[in-house]
Chain A
Amino acid sequence: DADVTQTPRNRITKTGKRIMLECSQTKGHDRMYWYRQDPGLGLRLIYYSFDVKDINKGEISDGYSVSRQAQAKFSLSLESAIPNQTALYFCATSDRQILYFGPGTRLTVT
């Protein structure tokens, strides 16, 4: 079984809809991250969390919110989706400077 899982793997939604992307990990790491990947821009950090009570904004947090429900679960929400949030979203955990990524969620906002 994968150590970092994401659901859904693919999602198409309409402008203005609320959507939640979920991430679970079995690696036992305290630190979790949400990144967004866009062609030509690489991966950019949306939010990160040191533990259940510690959540921090990344470089592109506007339009997103997160929830750390447990050490193993970190969810990303788009309160009102817009087309420029169409992207590939990655959840990751880290240990000693190495990031371990989930399989990604392809989100399309029409």
Chain B
Amino acid sequence: EADIYQTPRYLVIGTGKKITLECSQTMGHDKMYWYQQDPGMELHLIHYSYGVNSTEKGDLSSESTVSRIRTEHFPLTLESARPSHTSQYLCASSRGYGYTFGSGTRLTVV
């Protein structure tokens, strides 16, 4: 049973649309992360949060934004989707050094 939930699982959307990828966890973890992964490539950190009202940009520059209003919820938003945003987006949370990953959202922008 998954403790971290990502929706949608797959999304195909047109250029210019605003989208929000949802991520929720039920473990009460303070730390949450968003990773971007292109096919066959390694994961890259794009955003992270160490608690409510705390968000930071990751190692890979991204045009997306995040918010952390509640501990359990860490949504990622793209204001205007472009084909270059096509990728897989994975959410994770951690306590100490233990990580839990979501199932990912595979985004295609056409």
Do they bind each other? no
